[in-house]
Structure 1
Amino acid sequence: MDFQPTQDQRDLRAGVRDLLAGRYGREALRAAADGGACVDRALWRELGEAGFFALRLPEEQGGVGLGMPEAVLVFEEAGRALLPGPLVATHLAAGSVPGAAQGTAVVTAFDLEGPWVTHLGESDAVLGAAAVPAGEAVRPADPLTPLSRVRARDPASAGASEAADAYRDEGALLTAALQLGSALRTLELAVGHAREREQFGQPIGAFQAVKHLCAQMLVRAEVARTALYAAAVTGDPGEVAGAKLLADEAAVRGARDCLQVHGGMGFTWEADVHLHLKRAWVRAEQWRTAARAEEALAAELLGAGLPEAGVE
């Protein structure tokens, strides 16, 4: 079987990359990180018009009618651009929350452990909730992911957690795609810097330690990519859990290694590396944490009736 993306899928990915490059390049990213609004409403509507949120919605309901394999390609590009906002929740809400499919509504979800919600103050709705609950803003790890602590679960938000649970696998898979895009981008940043930065009269990429860091970043990203694409095709819960685990590792460790390649300048606010690392930390806690993913994998393996150790 040929698991390479089709020409239509490659064109779709290229189109989204071009859209984001033109509308959310580095200047827009830095402006948002330095204090601008995290969710660009105009860009959100453009994404809706391009079919980003309605990608998997049936055509008879006004959607594009594609599937999860296409969705992960699109979300991979959003992760590469470090596009902020509750992209996954809004995508999942298409067809059930008015305006979500068109990008005229921003929808968040209870996708974190405990009473935490991202982008609550910027959202028009919460997935599964009758109204947006009250919340208290707290200082986030990622400057582009506002975080709120919901004070009380009132009747309006009683079904929000249940709705998030119903979408857990899909949300985890799309979040893994965002993580993969970020991992691939930090790989590009590390390799680019290793080629340009010189020490002792030669590019630092010529040194074995730097080569190993970049090679390890590439291996982790490609392994995660393979797992992600396979899970997008099969939809198997165990494969989804594995893809999320691998993508989280590729994003977090890739950002750390990228920072290491950059050296002292990698720790500065002006470098983009810390934004990828902080976002990777947040995403690793969304939809399916490492602990939950490991539990799902363990249940899958135990349910498969694996042979005892030492038994062929």
Structure 2
Amino acid sequence: MDFRLTDDQKALKAGVRELLEGRFGREALRAAVDSQVLDRGLWRDLGAAGFFALRLPEEAGGVGLGLPEAVLVFEEAGRVLLPGPLIATHLAAGSVDGAAEGEVVVTAVDGGLVEWLEAADVVLGDVTGAVAVRSVDPLTPLHRVPGPVVAGRSERNAPAGAPSRVPTRPALRDDCPHGAVLLTAAEQLGSASRTTEMAVAYARNREQFGQAVGAFQAVKHLCAEMLVRTEVARAAVYGAAVTADPVEIAGAKLLADEAAVQCARDCLQVHGGMGFTWEADVHLHLKRAWVRAERGLTRARAEEMEAAAL
């Protein structure tokens, strides 16, 4: 089995990166952080580019590609910290009118949490009694659904007069078990790759004691460990995209979560005091990585899946 990217896959990855760098560069990222409002124009542009309809058959108006290609696209989205309920809208294409074209924003209940609830047009799952909670990531507003979540629905004792978000739909069925988990892992992989690049670039350009900080052994070790961590996660995520095996997806999520969080932390260390400032983008990657790590399959649940398989 050949796990190397095909020429078409490389072209897709490069095209999406070019689109996102042009449409959601650093200025747009910072504007989104300041406003904390979902850019509907950007959402429609993503729809026009086929971001949400990527896996829809061509006869249904989609691009007709598969899960490996979706992983490549979501890796690029994670790289630039693209905000919004991307995965829910992507999975809703074909079953929710307007989702494929980016005309409708779809979110979903995930582990008792709902992202971008107030910005969504359609919510998958019952969110009666949902309460806004403070999110560590300024680009991921969250609501918590009271009570445990069972089979895509939240079972709870909602307070009298609790608001109910409409319209709501049942949770989506993906064509891949834990497909949403794998796409989250792909986003984590993109973030880990980006923070590794940021650390290396800073280490090359920042001078201390008359030489680039990258010349110091401790910084070299940090950057090397970041690269290894990222590439191990990449192999796991790409492999799981080919096999679509739930256990392999769980392993990929574990490795991608670790890579995204730890690479962001190491990037902070390479940047020194500058990395801890609001002006640097490193903290945004760390905060998003923390939020994604709790999405879908948490570390504890993924470890249990791996242990059961062993």
**CA 1:290/1:141 → structure 2, altered by over 3 Å: closer, same or farther?**
same
Separation (CA, whole Å) in 1 of partners of 2:51 and 2:169: 26
1:170 aligned residue (169, 172, 179): 179
- Deviation of residue 300 (structure 1)? 1.6
Look up the match of 1:269. 278
Pair 1:299-2:299 in alignment: no
Separation (CA, whole Å) in 1 of partners of 2:70 and 2:165: 33
Q: Superposed, which structure 2 residues align to 1:172-191 within 5 Å? A: 172-191=181-200
Q: Which amino acid aligns with 1:123?
A: A
Separation (CA, whole Å) in 2 of partners of 1:158 and 1:78: 26
Separation (CA, whole Å) in 2 of partners of 1:157 and 1:297: 37
2:144 aligned residue (143, 149, 152): 149
Q: Tell me, what secondary structure is at the counterpart of 2:35?
A: coil
Q: Residue by residue, what CA displacement relative to the aligned partner does 1:170-229 show, whole Å, maximum 9, x if unpaired?
A: 000000000000000000110011011111110000001001110110001000000001
Q: Residue by residue, what CA displacement relative to the aligned partner does 1:223-271 show, whole Å, maximum 9, x if unpaired?
A: 0000001000000111000000000000000000000111111111000
Please say if residues 171 and 287 of structure 1, whose CA atoms lie closer than 8 Å, have aligned partners that are also in contact: yes
Pair 1:51-2:50 in alignment: yes
Q: Residue by residue, what CA displacement relative to the aligned partner does 1:279-308 show, whole Å, maximum 9, x if unpaired?
A: 00000001111111111112222xxxxxxx
Q: Residue by residue, what CA displacement relative to the aligned partner does 1:5-40 show, whole Å, maximum 9, x if unpaired?
A: 111111111111111111100000011112341x21
Look up the match of 1:229. 238
Q: Which amino acid aligns with 1:127?
A: L
Please say if residues 92 and 167 of structure 1, whose CA atoms lie closer than 8 Å, have aligned partners that are also in contact: no
- Deviation of residue 127 (structure 1)? 2.3
Q: TM-score, normalised by structure 2?
A: 0.90
Please say if residues 122 and 166 of structure 2, whose CA atoms lie closer than 8 Å, have aligned partners that are also in contact: no
Separation (CA, whole Å) in 1 of partners of 2:175 and 2:70: 18
Separation (CA, whole Å) in 1 of partners of 2:197 and 2:11: 21
Q: TM-score, normalised by structure 1?
A: 0.89
Q: Which amino acid aligns with 2:122?
A: A
Q: Percent identity?
A: 71
Q: Which amino acid aligns with 1:41?
A: R
Please say if residues 168 and 287 of structure 1, whose CA atoms lie closer than 8 Å, have aligned partners that are also in contact: no
Separation (CA, whole Å) in 1 of partners of 2:194 and 2:202: 12
Q: Which amino acid aligns with 2:102?
A: G
Q: Tell me, what secondary structure is at the counterpart of 1:218?
A: helix
Q: Tell me, what secondary structure is at the counterpart of 1:137?
A: strand
Separation (CA, whole Å) in 2 of partners of 1:264 and 1:298: 40
Q: Superposed, which structure 2 residues align to 1:1-312 within 5 Å? A: 1-37=1-37, 39-111=38-110, 113-114=111-112, 116-128=113-125, 133=128, 135-150=130-145, 152=158, 160=170, 163=172, 169-301=178-310
Q: Which amino acid aligns with 1:245?
A: L
- Deviation of residue 155 (structure 1)? 10
- Deviation of residue 109 (structure 1)? 1.1
> Structure 2: 5+ residue runs without aligned partners?
147-157
Separation (CA, whole Å) in 1 of partners of 2:83 and 2:256: 18
RMSD: 2.1
Q: Residue by residue, what CA displacement relative to the aligned partner does 1:146-191 show, whole Å, maximum 9, x if unpaired?
A: 011236497979875x548997610000000000000000001100
Please say if residues 123 and 165 of structure 2, whose CA atoms lie closer than 8 Å, have aligned partners that are also in contact: no
Q: Which amino acid aligns with 1:174?
A: L
Separation (CA, whole Å) in 2 of partners of 1:81 and 1:251: 13
Please say if residues 133 and 156 of structure 1, whose CA atoms lie closer than 8 Å, have aligned partners that are also in contact: no
Q: Tell me, what secondary structure is at the counterpart of 1:121?
A: coil
Name the structure where helix makes up a greater proportion of residues. Answer: 1
Instruction: Report how many aligned residue pairs link the two structures.
Output: 295
> Structure 1: 5+ residue runs without aligned partners?
302-312
